Amino acid sequence: MAGSTMFSLHTREPMNPRFGEVSLDILTDILSNLNNRNKSNLESVSDLCGCLKERRIVECVFHLCEELGLNPAVGYQAIEILERFMAKYIEHLIRSQKGQVASSEDTGKFEELIFQTLKKKFFLSILSSVQIASKLDLYSNVVNNDIAMRFLQAVGYPCSKEQLLVSEILVLKTLNFNLNVPNPLTYVETLLEVLGHNDASVPVAQLHQLCVRVLQFIYLQRETIYNSLLKSATGCSSPSHEQRAKFVSVTEDFMLLGVGVIAVAAFIHHISTWEKVVEELTGITGISGQSIMDFAYVTLIHITKTKSV
């Protein structure tokens, strides 16, 4: 896909969330639910988690959302849907061939068959994940099959409407229609809402604009940033496989990511008050101020090494 816009979707402008309108009781329940889901997710992580958050895939999803006029939240939701779908779909492909592999030669053919199957469907799986995510977002345009087909025609991707529908149904059925998975921007926005409720002087709307950019930067530089965090945490320039495996619980921790993003945004917005924001975030989440500042420090180092976010 070229960098210039090749597709124009004339729909309503995406809306930003409105802060300060949720009652404390509801806000407390939402935060508690997010915290519990984050803990539950961290209990079942594997060293394969995050494989589909590779930069080129993230860039593809973000570009699709930009071309289709979608809110940033749709992109993060689509990435979560795509990662969960691919994990279950690959598991299904492997199970379906179990027992048919008798030799190393058969294994090689089987692996190649799976690779070619995934390669053939991968871009449509990404687009289907974006479509589904757009239907879950309250503030965004819905990407129906007509819009998706117009987009595919605009970029010269050969696909029939039937193939597009089959792809979307495959994602839905593989996930057993279990699509309500939190994304990192949900954590950021909920924490911002709590911050604003606890301290009315916190410029939540301005921080939100910065947070969107910071989170995007972290996702595009995910491997580099988390690798720096791992080296900092272990004190090793070349962490072992065991250390990397244990660190997956950090890379998949959305609550830590949420407070880290807000801390970076607060530092950029007004350095004189960022320590107060970090203190508030510690009180809200129980994550130590040192952990939050370490995350922020590493991210800021990488931001300042890059010409633009």
CA distances from 114 to 62, 93, 120, 265, 282 (A): 26, 7, 10, 42, 45
SS (H, E, C) 130-191: HHHHHHHCCCCCCCCHHHHHHHHHHCCCCCCHHHHHHHHHHHHHHCCCCCCCCCHHHHHHHH
Q: Which residue has the higher pLDDT, 239 or 164?
A: 164
Confidence of residue 97 (pLDDT cuts 50, 70, 90): low
Residue 204 in tokens: 């939540």
CA angle, corner 184, sides to 179 and 1, nearest 5? 80
The tens digit of pLDDT for each residue in 174-193 reads 999 988 888 999 999 999 99
Calpha distance 203→304 (Å, rounded): 23
* Mutual angle of helices 289-305 and 254-269, in 10-degree steps: 60
pLDDT surpassing 70 at residue 108:
no
Q: What is the pLDDT of residue 199?
A: 86
d(Cα 2, Cα 66) in Å, to the nearest integer? 13
Domains of the chain by start residue, with CATH: 47-175 (1.10.472.10), 184-305 (no CATH)
pLDDT of residue 307: 45
Q: Which of 74-78, 82-86, 138-142, 246-250 has the lowest mean pLDDT?
A: 138-142
- Indicate if the pLDDT at residue 8 is higher than 60: no
d(CA 164, CA 95): 25
- The confidence score (pLDDT) of residue 89 equals 86
pLDDT in tens, 122-145: 899 999 999 999 998 877 788 989
> What is the tens place of the pLDDT at every residue in 238-260?
888 888 888 888 999 999 999 99
Closest CA to 247 of 261, 227, 263: 227
Please check whether residue 30 is in contact with residue 189, taking contact to mean a CB–CB distance below 8 angstroms. no
Residue 157 has pLDDT above 80, yes or no: yes
> 107 or 170: whose pLDDT is higher?
170
> Is residue 96 scored above 80 in pLDDT?
no
